[in-house]
Amino acid sequence: MADLSIDGFDPLSSDFSTEESEQLINEANRRIISNILKSYTGYYDVFSELLQNALDACEAQAKISKPEYQPKIWIYIDIEQGRIRVVDNGIGLSLQEFRYFLKPNVSFKKPRDFRGQKGVGATFLAYGFSLLRVHTRHAAAEVAAIMRQGRQWAQDQSDSIPRPVFQEEKFAVPELATGEDGSSVEIVLGGAAGERPRRLDWLGAATADQWLDILRIKTPLGPRLITTT
């Protein structure tokens, strides 16, 4: 007979003792993520989150690196393929951080030290779009994985789409070929309902210089020393 005692029970615990309770937690997670996605209504939010995380990672690395450390961020925008990729040579993620950084309200950033520490930006990137790919290196340890159909699962009302899981990949970040710590985060727009933007040609910007001007105005990138190719 199941233990029905309530004494000492933690209502915030994840009790998956029965199939019914697991389904309840699954629905609660989807509801939380759905509410997070509804709070991101801007067409530049995806760029802001990617660049904010990259800038914070570089600043965190600068705090512990030698004076000669030179922070670098690479930004790739593939209009035809609907791909956005941001690479930084910042602090990277450990395996433990990688396991949990997509969970709602989980943040490894200390308040007041960095631009973002609410813990929902990474959740938005993972479940707001059709594909998320993250490759990261921290203290010489590499982790790389892809997650598909985050947005589709978050909006699924028929339970026909399984909850997305990480699929491990081989670490491959040419920009970090010298062995530096850092991360590559790639988002693919799949045209799913609710994605903002659904396409990368909505602005009419077609050159690196045009995109740079836009990102400097609309994101935390600001007036930093940047070269384009």
* Least trusted range by pLDDT, from 2-6, 129-133, 161-165: 2-6
| Res 118 pLDDT > 50 | yes
Concatenating the DSSP letter of every residue in 1-66 gives ------TT--TTS---SSHHHHHHHHHHHHHHHHHHHHH---TTHHHHHHHHHHHHHHHHHHHHS-
Q: Are 84 and 186 in contact (CB under 8 A)?
A: yes
Q: Which domains does the chain have, with CATH numbers?
A: 37-218 (3.30.565.10)
* Least trusted range by pLDDT, from 75-79, 90-94, 154-158: 154-158
Confidence class for position 5, pLDDT limits 50, 70, 90? low
pLDDT digits (tens, 9 = 90+) for 11-57: 556 655 666 666 777 788 889 999 999 999 899 999 999 999 999 99
Closest to 56 in 3D by CA, of 133, 139, 116: 116
Cα torsion at 105, 108, 114, 115 (round to 10°)? Answer: -30
State the average pLDDT for the chain.
86
Angle, CA 16 vertex, CA 11 and CA 22 arms, to 5°: 95
pLDDT digits (tens, 9 = 90+) for 215-229: 999 999 987 666 666
pLDDT at 103: 86
Confidence class for position 1, pLDDT limits 50, 70, 90? very low
Instruction: Determine the average pLDDT of the residues in 60-65.
Output: 92
pTM: 0.86
